[in-house]
Structure 1
Amino acid sequence: MKKLTLLFLFISTSIFAQTEYKVLQSETLQDSRQIKIQLPRNYNNNTEKSYPVFIVLDGDYLFEPVAGNVDYYSYWEDMPESIVVGVNEVGKRRKDTEYDKETFLPTKQGAEFFEFIGLELLPLIDKNYRTAKFAIIVGHDLTASFMNYYLLKEDPLFKGYINLSPDYAPNLKERVADALNASESKTWYYLATSTDDVESLNESNKQMNELLKTIDNEKFYYYFDNFEEATHYSLVGRGIPKAIESIFSIYRPINQKEYEDQVLTTKGTYYEYLVDKYETVSELYGLDIQVRINDFIYIADAIEISKEWDQYKDLGKLANDEHPNKMLGSYFLARYYEETGNAKKAMKEYQNAFALEEASYLTKDMMLKRIEQIKQDFGY
């Protein structure tokens, strides 16, 4: 019975995202703070992998919906696996977001909390966990406004900002717009309100949307939602997944819509489209990820439809580099040789593919049939 219990516990930490609860003693705040940390599935097994970080203000109620969506979307590879850190602010959020009534910049505990996030919490996470250089911050009304102060720094700590019905401090909208307009670093900015939001916040955020739409900066990625019939609180549940989908739209695997709208209509080769997609992911998010089998299959389908057989040669070499144990690369090269008239080399590549692991619809039975077909067609 003990062995079964131990096995169950081991499996659960491997399959599910892991949440840690910590109490941090802050020198800046002269106070302790409760922190929640969700690590990605199999974090302990992927020792060479680094992960983006989500800092979630109002972690007492925002952490779970953010962590749940991050775990769900990363499970389906629609976003990279990420570390989610929630900062509980029960009874402290008003002082944490305090600003001066003349300068409208953080003051007193607001200034201390600002430094706590940047000088204590983020460095602590970077020191103790494998983090990538891509951090996102999330907040709701007061904390959503507060987190925008990081945009005013010369070298902002965060690349992504998920603003859920922010209650902007005076002059902050204009300051943020000016900073984003002049920014030389890539910034993702999501803003959400709703028709049943607090009326003053809905109007303020629609005004902010009009302001941000005028920004002409190729490094600024902006997304806005005004949800129908959502309240100030229910918009949170709709805004978080929309923000994730928007910020990581380029990261997602190729789907049928991207295939039809972009892959098939690309001005370059299909192979170049695939390479460019992953180079863009690396450039935007600072993440070097393995080319997905799903994406290889979509590119191969495009080659089959267009009969651009020469593109199979480069695709096969890339597949062999990315998935050396899978039959993808050998199959693509076999198709190249088969369609360009080199039956002998095609049969050899099909034989090589047969000895490797199956991938998607590519099976050992399929390789055997291909080999037999070549033998019949060419008299081997």
Structure 2
Amino acid sequence: MIKKSLTLLFILFCFCGYSQKIIQKNLESTFLDSDRSISIYIPEGYEKDSIKNYPLAIVLDEDYMFDIYVGNSILFSKKDKAPKQIVVGVSMKDTKGADVSFNRNTGELTASAQNFYTFIRDEVLFYMESTYRTSPFITLVGQGYSANLISHFLQEDTAFINSFICINPSFSDFIGGELQSYNLPKFGREDNTFYFYTNNSTSFSPEKQNKINQVQKGLSTLGIKNFNVNNDVITTSSSISAMSEAIPRALTKVFEVYSGITKEEYDKYIKELAPLDAISYLENKYLEIEFLFGTNLGIRESDIYAIENIIIEKENGDRLRDFGKMILKIFPSSPLGDYYIGKYYETGKMIKKAIRQYKIGYGKMDPSDPNADAYYENILRLGGQ
């Protein structure tokens, strides 16, 4: 009871915080032969920057999934764990679940569900991309039978969905054969990154747990390059709790490349790299962030410091200049690039060049920056005035 109350309070708090940024629209649909209500969340700062693009999340079951997802997206962006997102919630028909129904004997989508599928693909997505500044990174979110519908988007010949988030999925009995019939290796041939998240839970029936487990195991064995399968098991006695836990856990996985370098990432991918490889890793990380999410972060200082020891301690520090040049390439306004180039010259006893580079870096700093005086000490130490 306490957990449910806390979840409800969180949702209400988030709703109060962003309700003024919600746009309600009735979208006319040729495929549904009617209007369909959608809710659009525009992140803070969207109007102030006319160039920046934002990842797009399409959330089904809008009545209760939209608020939870938007609340989590705000929290993750404020904590610098994910980019700000544009989120569109799509209302669903309650009558017998017509929007997500499928043939119980074959697993194929019914005519009404196929129409809704096409509405999402050809009308909702088109409207959002033509009306708002969206980046190429697109997420689909659904729960229960909506998650089953989302899995059908894997069959598309062109891989245009980056992230499939299936919460508390109610897959058809034919999900295994359907996945095998899709050309999933196509994802590995794309110069892009894809995620498929699904959660199991101890709150589900044994039959449902077994079905999800089979899907998770089957996808995990494929080992497709660029196609990240994220299997999750949530221990709880409530499917509502499982849903509220699954969304932030899914966002953590889907946007892991966006986050700063963690100890786990460092130990797994960076620790044993040679200096040039470590520099390339960091450069590619931020180029991928800009490509996927439309966000030019520069480079987080924490990530620079994360690989600093590799650059300084390996190969006698001979790669310090390469390190500085990489930083200046991605983050030209940062004094850190000039600092590492200056340090390279100082290590090589090229004092005049070192002083000059330190002065260039110092010139980029705000005098009120608490680190400015310490930075200037490099110039004084070498006798530069």
Q: TM-score, normalised by structure 2?
A: 0.84
Out of 189, 193, 196, the residue aligned to residue 200 of structure 2 is 193
Contact kept in structure 1, 2:275 and 2:310, CA below 8 Å: no
Partner Cα separation in structure 2 for residue 268 and residue 343 of structure 1:
24
Contact kept in structure 2, 1:165 and 1:201, CA below 8 Å: no
Matches within 5 A, 1:188-337: 188-267=195-274, 269=276, 270-281=278-289, 285=292, 287=294, 289-294=296-301, 295-306=303-314, 308-337=316-345
Change (3 A) 1:119 1:104: same
Contact kept in structure 2, 1:138 and 1:163, CA below 8 Å: yes
What does the per-residue CA deviation read over 1:309-343, in whole Å, with 9 as the maximum and x for residues that have no partner?
A: 22221222233333333322221221111111111
Tell me how large the CA RMSD over aligned residues is. Answer: 2.8
SS at match of 1:36: strand
Contact kept in structure 1, 2:83 and 2:293, CA below 8 Å: no
Contact kept in structure 1, 2:93 and 2:99, CA below 8 Å: no
Change (3 A) 1:93 1:160: farther
Using CA pairs below 8 Å that are at least 6 residues apart, which structure has the higher relative contact order? 2
Residues 1:83 and 2:86 are matched in the alignment: yes
**Runs of 5+ unmatched residues, structure 1:** 1-14
Out of 38, 42, 60, the residue aligned to residue 63 of structure 2 is 60
Contact kept in structure 2, 1:162 and 1:190, CA below 8 Å: yes
Partner Cα separation in structure 2 for residue 102 and residue 90 of structure 1:
23
Change (3 A) 1:66 1:180: farther
What does the per-residue CA deviation read over 1:43-85, in whole Å, with 9 as the maximum and x for residues that have no partner?
A: 1122112222111000110111111222222233322322111
**Runs of 5+ unmatched residues, structure 2:** 1-17
Q: TM-score, normalised by structure 1?
A: 0.85
Q: Percent identity?
A: 24
Partner Cα separation in structure 2 for residue 132 and residue 172 of structure 1:
30
SS at match of 2:259: coil
Partner Cα separation in structure 2 for residue 169 and residue 257 of structure 1:
36
Map of 2:48 onto structure 1: 45
Residues 1:344 and 2:352 are matched in the alignment: yes
- Where does structure 1 differ by over 6 angstroms across 4 or more consecutive aligned residues? none
Residues 1:158 and 2:165 are matched in the alignment: no
**Count of equivalent residues:** 362
Structure 2 residue identity aligned to 1:153: E
Change (3 A) 1:108 1:30: same
Map of 1:370 onto structure 2: 378
Partner Cα separation in structure 1 for residue 202 and residue 313 of structure 2:
46
